[in-house]
Structure 1
Amino acid sequence: MNIGFIGTGNMGKILIEAIIESHSLAPSAIFMTNRTIAKAAAINKIYPETNVMDNASEVIKHSDIIFICVKPLDIHPLLLNVRHLLRRDKCLISITSPVQVEQLESIVNCQVARVIPSITNRAFAGVSLFTFGNSCSNEMQQKIEKLFEGISTPVEIENEITRVASDIVSCGPAFFSYLLQRFVNGAVKETEISQEKAVQLASEMIIGMGKLLETELYTLPTLQEKVCVKGGVTGKGIKVLEEELGPVFENLIKSTHRKYDEDIEEVRRQFEK
């Protein structure tokens, strides 16, 4: 099975690296291209057995499964140019949330799926979100899931929860790394701890917390209960968080959904021309 990547920006590169280093696929089975071909060549320099192609058409010709890793508004014009190459035995996978599988199926005759990855997949961890088109056979679904099982926990989702699921899985690492950095900055500003030491302690804390949750010894609420002794230091800190955070996460979700709705509308206009 050969896998193609049209677009080797941040997420395309992360997927290629994770798939190769998890031994989910041999490097020689990867065919890739990018608008700026130097980006694909840079990956090839690290993994010389991979194949850099001149354009999207060449990637499709050599691949059984093709990942489209470009911006949402670049997908429609790209597919119009290459759809004659997308035979029924091939599978096209979009990794962007505003483009629905039904929209892809409206202009290509091949099998279609959407997989929304996360940067955590680079460490063979976290979740990848799956939505399969009606065109996608059971056999192809199993192949895609097996590919991602080596780098993530695949979870199938409905269109209705695409944005919020992406907020948690794909955007979540950025949101919580920002909060963790603010936590570190506050500690450095208000005490004698160095930036380096605070970052080390915070990083090890978040890794340990993840491992605790992974063991299922604690849930998020019970973990808080175990640490937060009534009337103690942690309780005082939680009270500040309750007072200061307010509806910040509700507002965050509202904001991402507003942007998502704008993106969906722009994509809809393209596909309905």
Structure 2
Amino acid sequence: MTMVRSADEANVFPDVKVASIQMAPRIGDKAANLQQSIDLIEEAARQGAVVAVLPELANTGYVFASRQEAFALAESVPDGESSRAWLDVARRCNIHVVAGIAERVGDRLFNAALIAGPKGYIGTYRKLHLWGDEHLFFESGDLGLPVFHTELGRLGVVICYDGWFPEVYRLLAMQGADIVCMPTNWVPMPGQASGQMAMANTLAMANAHANGLNIICADRVGIERGQPFIGQSLIVNEQGWPIAGPASKDGEEILYAAINLRKSRSARHLNAFNCVLRDRRDDVYDPMLGTGWPLPRY
């Protein structure tokens, strides 16, 4: 039997429209990249989105030639030029923005994401798991896995290679995250046959299903200094099924999807007997994976 929600209940748990922005930043061209990202955020807001996710390192490009180049392109967060521009568009358009940025903290660099909302700066996430030559430019993230509480629900953030580690999603789920935003710059994976679903898409679907999480993956496209990027941005619901995308492999586009937090939270119950978080065997393994973080009560 289908349960019909009352009008009051629908108002309390309205659908949240989210957007994954797939674009092609140009290395070093911060002004053009930033303006394009703002134009796309404004377009997403006009279409009713209240969350918009940009790719990893959206304002700078990805393939730095040297640490000196990366350092020159990096900015402080949240008071740098790009952060201020994203904070402004979030306020003007009444939208939440998650944007990948190279963050400069003194002499240290982080592959980071700014989280902005209509009321201003919400927080910063720093990528925990560095990929390839990122080790030459960035420090590993030192802010852990925060969950940001907003009027829309609880947001978590991961960046690209973080998505290869199931512990990341489990820790976000255990802290009550509803939506995980992933700025990313996916590259081709070794051994992948033509025509197969991208490994990154498979991992997003599996981790969404295993943890009852909605995941918004915003990838980039194009070839930068010889490095191709695969596109195929994706929005996955709490049961692990794609609800928007995958996007094209080479085109700039915006994906949209609607998420209902009441449905998302209840979907962790797979049937009358099983709930993916309740069924954990915490007599066998630490529910917080040894982090020592307090387990919230929701």
Q: Same fold (TM over 0.5)?
A: no
Decide which structure has greater helix share.
1
Decide which structure has greater strand share.
2
Higher-Rg structure is: 1
Instruction: State TM-score, norm by structure 1.
Output: 0.26
Compare relative contact order (CA 8 Å, sep 6+) and give the higher one, 1 or 2: 2
Instruction: State TM-score, norm by structure 2.
Output: 0.25
